[in-house]
Amino acid sequence: MTSDPRAFFALDEGAATTSAAIIARLGGRWRLLASTAFPAVISTDAILELLVARLRAGDPSIADAVGAGDGAVGEWARLAVRGRPTGRLAVVAGAERAVAPFAAAATRAGWRVAPGSAERLDPLAMTTLLVDPAVDAVLVGAGEPPGADERPTLDDLAALVAAVAVRRPELPIVLAGAMGERAAQFELLGDRTGALLRAPAPGAPSSETALRSALLDLRAPADDPRRAIVQSIGTLADVLDRRVEVLEVGATGGLRAHALPGAGGDPGVVRWAIVAAAGLTGEEREDVAVDDLMAWSTMPLDRHRMRDRLRELRTVPWGDCAGDGALLRLAAARAALTRLVDATPDFGAMPAPDLVVAAGGAWAVAPGPAIALAVIDVVRRPGASQLAFDHAHLLGPLGSIEDPGERRAIVRDLIDELLAPVGSVVMPQGLHAGRPVGRVVLHAIRGTSELELTAGGIELVDLPPGETAVAEFEFRDAVRLGARGRHFAIDVAGGLGGLLVDLREVPLRLPDRHDRRREILASWQAGLWGGGDG
Amino acid sequence: MTAVRAAADGLELVSARPLLEAPIDVRFHMAPGDRILVAPGDEVLPGAPLAERLRDPRLEDVAGAPSGARPGGRWTGELGPGTLGLRRRAASATGELLFEVGDRWRVVVGEHHEVLPSPVAGVVREVDPGIGVLLRANGRGIGGTAALGGATRGVLTIAGGPDWELRPGAVDVGAAGRILVVGSRVDAETLTRARAMGVRGIVVATLPGKERRDFLASEARQRASLHRGQPFGVLVLDGALRRPIASPVMAVLEAIAGLEVALVADPPALVFDEPSIAIPAPDPGWIRVRSGPLAGQEGRWGGLAGLRRFGAGTHLEAGLVRIADEPPVALPLNDLERYG
């Protein structure tokens, strides 16, 4: 934003969901006044009209103070990020072994990857793969230096991709690693509109990051919501001076980002990965997607019926959100989160974040405690964290503010409204299921409460949003909770789900049989999701 | 529109689905080796050959391509003995240039072709060898969510009501050459029988995943056979869970019954070219329940109902819909659609 408005609309126009909010300056600071979310097919102006009308109906004096009149929708600035359909990148190399690291980098840059190697595909099959109109860009790579298994194929491979570049002049081509030395062969083609880029081979971590950034630039413009969330999560970590992790699941993909605040004059660090398969229905292989969904579903549906429900969810992501549709949606969100976590094993080795933020349209209609359960079902990491939800979908729009100072100022103003507190989670590792394992004493402002702890389930301690407390844990045997020990005193904050002491196994082991698995998942869900029986 | 009016009416917060689409740009996918027979700007009639598809593409390494040869261009020359089937002598052949390495070209050749006829009349807009042909179809179309099988053409026939289900025994050779509107759902057995009876296509509201898989497997076997039958296509209007054909769509289908229409796959649509048939605009206040427990029911819009609590503790924006003569019922806006 370059002007100095009294109020503006924050818009996250995703592939399936349009989220809109009114942010206005009141009492010398920015405040979140209203927010809502609708399917992306609905006109943005109609959504904004509704928001303004709600604001006027709810508090006319505030509406007048911020100028929320008839002309607001046309006149107010819009801070918008816009999602686009996930692109498909054909990744080809001379040998099957050489394709894997390029494909892995592309996968974590948010591309859907169509891999191919000269070892596995003949030139006709590879040409067919590359000229497919569903392919949005091509990466042709070779190791630096090329391996012995790659060298004999490089001439043919370069000639084949150059021929494809002639057939499809609009197709961006990325020459990665040693293939970059053949750029002249492509530059001579002429009459091409598609970009020609060079990128390193993903050998060292810095090269992998450079390749991934180049591929992200190619796929997503600056106003991409996930790129923007990476920015805002860094700002949030700085403002809170805490380690923050965001788990975002949308219709077309998922984002995992881990931000460390700056310290000692050094800037903060944000690690990120965007995974297309981690969308709500993002797994393209239908059988795998059905398996993933059935693994987390609490609904007694057979495989065919589940496939049909999944297909409907893909066709109309916002349809059937209530009743058992909500259960199905949350099972799909868990499945997507599992794919996101599986695609980012390196994040698991990092220290537990102080704050975990759930974001994205997948969580849009779920109650807070249900979101908490879904996150801790999947992200099994011993330690203590606070959970929050990006309820107004503001992380994207705020991250699109280019000036870091301005972004920081707005985030600081909105810090109490930006995230809905879901609760605190304490997850010890090393417990033996079914046994009493110790107790927790909660020292809160309104008094002290004590709870015996039995391994194998989730203990809930009431702690409303806005309250803080000290939870004093005393275990019979040593457990891992950040460090290894028997006595821990942990600062916890309240939320919609209160304090969740997760005494289940880390990692979680569930029965293979679907009926038994469903029963266990449903029993955990019943404790945290009132009315979650559909 | 003012904010207050928007709140009172709210119909624009219900997703709108076009009843008819025009113009329709139909894409026919090609593979390297397929020979395209049309050029941009060509006008084509139904049945006109668009391309010859190569059934047995193979790669050959040849020298002597003409100067200025480009990938995707045609090549005619002579292949050495043994390169085409079991021939002992050199034979002339044609193919498509794939790419050049050194002074030699890789070309795609083959012996068996099949003609791809155009299912619609229209004008060729783009031709990309090895990739596809884009044709702007004359007329208007009804969009669907999926198409299976091939592009096809036939006389549209209403075989049952909007919530009907066609059974295998109800299909006989009397329906040969027709495209049948079969109601709410159909199974794979009926689809394969219809294909065997010479039916050209099926229009159905929903197709469950199991039936879809079974039909696609049968279709793949059919395509792999040496003798292929007439093209057969299936247009799915809605999705996988059973619901009747929407009444505005059914009204259009009834209006064009008896005409020759086409089913195309990309985009999935039924295309008809009869400008003289006037299709009345759908009632703007007519609402269809797209998803949820009442999926398929229709009624009249009664305005926004605000944020309401629904099953499983969800809070969703709702609208009032009067179904039949019942009192208005509050339903999630996300489950509703209207045709416009």
**pLDDT on residue A350:** 85
Q: Is the pLDDT of residue B85 over 70?
A: no
DSSP secondary structure, A198-238, as one string:
EE--S-SHHHHHHHHHHHHHHH--TT-HHHHHHHHHHHHHH
Strand positions, DSSP E, B167-209: 178-181, 185-186, 201-206
pLDDT of residue B7: 42
**Is the domain covering B3-17+282-339 a CATH 2.60.40 domain?**
no
**Would the CB atoms of B313 and A530 count as touching at under 8 Å?**
yes
Neighbours of A283 (CB within 10 A): 22
Structure tokens at A459: 């203990």
- Domain boundary assignment for chain B: 3-17+282-339, 56-111, 139-281
Query: Searching chain A, which residue's CA lies closest to the CA of residue B242?
Result: A308
Alpha carbon distance A128, A122 (integer Å):
10
With beta carbons less than 8 A apart as the criterion, state whether A458 and A502 touch.
yes
Provide the sign of the torsion angle of the four alpha carbons A137, A142, A143, A149, taken in this order.
Answer: positive
Q: How much of chain A, in percent, has pLDDT values that exceed 90?
A: 85
Gap from B210 CA to chain A (nearest CA, Å):
6
* Residue tagged 């908490």 (tokens): A372
User: CATH top-level class for A88-219?
Assistant: alpha beta
At residue A398, what is the residue type?
L
Separation between Cα atoms, residue A62 and residue A209, nearest integer Å: 47
Which class is domain A225-424+508-528?
A: alpha beta
Q: Comparing C-alpha atoms, which of A473, A472, A528 is closest to residue A497?
A: A528
Indicate the helix (H) or strand (E) that contains A412: helix A404-418
Query: Which residues make beta-bridge pairs with A450?
Result: A441
Nearest Cα residue in chain B from A317: B334
Please determine, for residue B84, whether its predicted confidence score (pLDDT) is greater than 60. no
Comparing A365 with B83, the larger pLDDT belongs to A365
B17 to each of A215, A447, A504, B248, how far by Cα in Å? 35, 57, 47, 11
Distance CA A202, CA A222 (A): 23
Segment A106-163, tens digit of pLDDT: 999 999 999 999 999 999 999 999 999 999 999 999 999 999 999 999 999 999 999 9
Model pLDDT for residues B44-65, shown as the tens digit of each residue: 999 999 999 998 999 999 887 7
Instruction: Quote the CA–CA distance of A47 and A20 in Å, as a whole number.
Output: 7
Question: Residue A516 corresponds to which amino acid?
Answer: R
- CA angle, corner A523, sides to A519 and A529, nearest 5? 130
Q: Which of B7, B58, B208 sits opposite A308 (nearest CB)?
A: B208
pLDDT digits (tens, 9 = 90+) for B28-38: 999 999 999 99
What are the pLDDT digits (tens) for A179-234?
A: 999 999 998 887 899 999 999 999 888 899 999 999 999 999 889 999 999 999 99
A vs B, Cβ pairs < 8 A, gives 174
CA distance A287 to A291: 6
- Omega before B23 within 30 of 0, i.e. cis: yes
* pLDDT of B3 above 50: no
B237-271 per-residue burial string, b: 16 or more CB within 10 A, e: under 16? bbbbbbbbbbebbbbbbebbeeebbbbbbeebbbb
Asked if B241 and A312 come within 8 Å (Cβ–Cβ), the reply is: yes
Q: How many CA atoms lie within 13 A of B336 on its CB side?
A: 31
Q: CA triplet B234, B235, B241: central angle to 5 degrees? A: 105
Which token pair is B208? 């469950």
The candidate with the shortest Cα–Cα distance to A398, out of A26, A6, A19, A87, is A19
Task: Check pLDDT > 70 for residue A264.
Answer: yes
Please name the residues in contact with A282: beta carbons below 8 A apart, sequence gap of 6 or more.
A86, A251, A252, A253, A254, A275, A276, A336, A339
For chain A, the average pLDDT equals 93
CATH number of this structure's domain A7-82: 3.30.420
The residue extents of the domains of chain A are 7-82, 88-219, 225-424+508-528
Choose the closest CB to A321 out of B27, B70, B332. B332
Q: Do B3 and A131 touch (CB under 8 A)?
A: no
CB A20 within 8 A of CB A48: yes
Verify whether the Cβ–Cβ distance B312 to A46 is below 8 Å. no
- Residues with Cβ < 8 Å from A68, sequence gap 6 or more? A7, A22, A24, A52, A55, A56, A62
pLDDT in tens, A319-349: 999 999 999 999 999 999 999 999 999 998 8
Q: Which of A46, A530, A531 sits opposite B13 (nearest CB)?
A: A46
Residue in chain A lying closest to B144 (CA):
A315
Neighbours of B235 (CB within 10 A): 26
Which chain A residues are closer than 8 Å to B295 by Cβ? 320
**A123 to B3: CB separation less than 8 angstroms, yes or no:** no
Q: Which of B145, B148, B144, B167 is nearest to B233 (CA)?
A: B148
- Compare CB distances from B32 to A50, A131, A307 and report the shortest one's residue: A131
Band of residue A79 on the pLDDT scale cut at 50, 70, 90: very high
Q: What is the DSSP string of A338-402?
A: HHHHHT-HHHHTSPPPSEEEEESGGGTTS-HHHHHHHHHHH---SEEEEEEE-TT--HHHHHT-S
- Do residues B268 and B190 make contact, with C-beta atoms less than 8 angstroms apart? no
| A370-426: pLDDT as tens digits | 999 999 999 999 999 999 999 999 999 999 999 999 999 999 999 999 999 999 999
Residue B262 has pLDDT above 80, yes or no: yes
Cβ neighbours of residue A132 closer than 8 Å, sequence gap 6 or more: A90, A114
Describe the crossing of helices A303-315 and A286-296 by its angle, rounded to 10 degrees: 110
Mean pLDDT of B279-291: 92
According to CATH, the topology of domain B139-281 is Glucose Oxidase; domain 1 (3.50.30)
**DSSP element (H, E) containing B99:** strand B91-101
More confident residue, B5 or B267: B267
Q: What is the pLDDT, as a whole number, of residue A288?
A: 93
Contact A316 B12 (CB under 8 A): no
What is the per-residue pLDDT across A453-500, written as a single tens digit (0 to 9) for each? Answer: 999 999 999 999 999 999 999 999 999 998 899 999 999 999 998 999
Cβ contacts of B143 within 8 Å, gap of 6 or more: B18, B21, B267, B268, B269
- What is the nearest CA distance from B50 to chain A, expressed in angstroms? 19
The answer to whether the beta carbons of residues B236 and B268 sit under 8 Å apart is yes
pLDDT at A351: 83
Residue pair A326/B312 in contact (Cβ under 8 Å)? The answer is yes
Lowest mean pLDDT among A47-56, A327-336, B99-108, B129-138: B99-108
Least CA distance to A131: which residue of chain B? B131
* Alpha carbon distance B238, B232 (integer Å): 19
